[in-house]
Amino acid sequence: MDLQAKKIALRKIPHGIFIVGVCANGQLNAFTGSWLTQVSFTPPLVAIGVKKDTISYTMIEQSKVFSVSLLGKDGGKRIAEHFVKPAHAAGEKLVGISHTVGRTGAPILDEAIAYFECEVRQIAEGGDHAVVIGEVVEAGVRQDVDALTLKDTGWQYGG
């Protein structure tokens, strides 16, 4: 395989940028995600990719819930940058970030243009990430504007 071609081809996959909120044992956490897709209309299911060696992944395994806060194209990069760094302790990334706790107990950012909350239905482990499939059990729209994408940030992911 041409490794450079593989890297370039995989980087052409379009990605959104959003904040995944998690909770477990009375603690909250959140991280920047870029792997999200809807996989079913009935019931409404989404799939996210979550790095397995993280605090957030362990919290999802324990609580079986997560939230997704969609960020606006204008101004969302600043928020995404805040959550992209690994957490050393659960909750530290939410300090000073305005948020509410949703129906599932997972955090939803106040600056989100839209959000949804999910109950985990399945986790498929493979490689360094797991695919977490969740059923959307709550949703809201605060602003009907374009969502932030990876291309908007100038970042690259994949390969």
Who has greater pLDDT, 159 or 145? 145
22-63 per-position pLDDT tens digit? 999 999 999 999 999 999 999 999 999 999 999 999 999 999
Whole-number Å distance between alpha carbons of 46 and 102? 18
Domains belonging to the chain, first-starting first, are 14-153 (2.30.110.10)
Q: Per-residue confidence at 87, pLDDT binned at 50, 70, 90?
A: low
Give me the pLDDT at residue 126, please: 83
Q: How high does pLDDT run on average in the chain?
A: 93
Q: Per-residue confidence at 121, pLDDT binned at 50, 70, 90?
A: very high
Residue pair 65/105 in contact (Cβ under 8 Å)? The answer is yes
